[in-house]
Amino acid sequence: MTEPTVKNLDTGTPHSARLWNYWLGGKDNFQADRDAGEAIAGMLPSIVALAREDRKFLRRSVEHLVRDGGIRQILDIGTGLPTADNTHQVAQNVAPETRVVYVDNDPLVLVHARALLQGTDEGETTYVEADLNDPESILRAARETLDFSQPIALTLLGIVHFIRDDEAALAVVRRLVEELPPGSYLAIAHGCHDINTEEAHRIVDFWNERGTPKIKYRSSAEIAAFFEGLRLLEPGVVPCNRWRPEGDPGEDVNQYCGVAIKE
């Protein structure tokens, strides 16, 4: 990968954003990320499909929210390294005036995002370095770009599972949703151990011994609890490959997702 401009970058510890990038076929990863990626894929081969199905869910859900839900503002927390079909591209392809605020706590992600994620002239695309554990600073920064009197789609894809304490994770999601006006949406994709349960526990343990940030897979019922007080859209909380697939959904993956509206 190109020489990072981030100081004190720890390339010896596998990192979630770079591991994700590796499974998605990107080049923004280091040997430690590739080694962990291969080892995990050896234990749960569908993990590569999991990353790709998550991205397909991102595309289908964002397209749906902008095209059919009238959404023109998106708060995307857990941006990840730029890849194909990034949130602002999907949204602004449907409605160029859409404003997108990206949030991530990894400085390497932000360096790449600022360089590569350029939005349309009509819309606006901004980047915030902040931590999901600190929703107040996210909300403060998001208000500089987004109008909180108009509907907003909050997308939390592949990130809530990095808050391992159940109460803390629920509190953060509730706090963010609390600030959204009616007509807003919440989309979540989250690691799940309902299927391939033994392998799922093994890969989580493997990752938590070596990688950062540490992760917690949850059951589909625990993932559904993040949507409490909202109305879940069909088909509810399902593996990403089963959320309104365009063709054959293929093999179920250990990443479950849902989209709900705040009425």
Ligand X SMILES: C[S@@+](CC[C@H](N)C(=O)[O-])C[C@H]1O[C@@H](n2cnc3c(N)ncnc32)[C@H](O)[C@@H]1O
Residues forming contacts to ligand X in the complex (CB under 6 A) are 16-17, 20, 54-55, 58, 78-80, 104-106, 109, 131-133, 157-159, 162, 189, 213
Supply 16's token pair: 């979630």
> Closer to ligand X at the Cβ: 132 or 173?
132
Q: How far is the CB of 241 from ligand X (least distance, A)?
A: 14
State in angstroms the smallest separation of the CB of 258 from ligand X: 14
Say how far apart CA 56 and CA 30 lie, in whole Å: 25
User: Which residue is nearest to ligand X, using beta carbons?
Assistant: 80
Nearer to ligand X, 51 or 230 (CB): 51
Q: Quick one: 119 or 121, whose CB is closer to ligand X?
A: 119
Kindly state the smallest distance separating residue 182's Cβ from ligand X, in Å. 25
> Of 172 and 180, which CB lies nearer to ligand X in the complex structure?
172
Give the shortest CB-129-to-ligand X separation in angstroms. Answer: 9
Q: How far is CA 258 from CA 92, 99, 104, 188, in A?
A: 22, 22, 21, 6
Whole-angstrom CA distances from 67 to 64, 99, 136, 149, 169 are 5, 14, 30, 20, 30
Alpha carbon distance 127, 149 (integer Å): 21
State which residue, 59 or 202, has the beta carbon closest to ligand X: 59
Give whichever of 105 and 126 is closer to ligand X, judged by the CB atom. 105
For the bound state, the minimum distance from the C-beta of residue 161 to ligand X, rounded and expressed in Å, comes to 9
Cα–Cα distance between 145 and 6 in angstroms, integer?
26
Query: What's the CA gap between 248 and 49, in Å, rounded?
Result: 14
Smallest gap, in angstroms, from Cβ of residue 83 to ligand X? 7
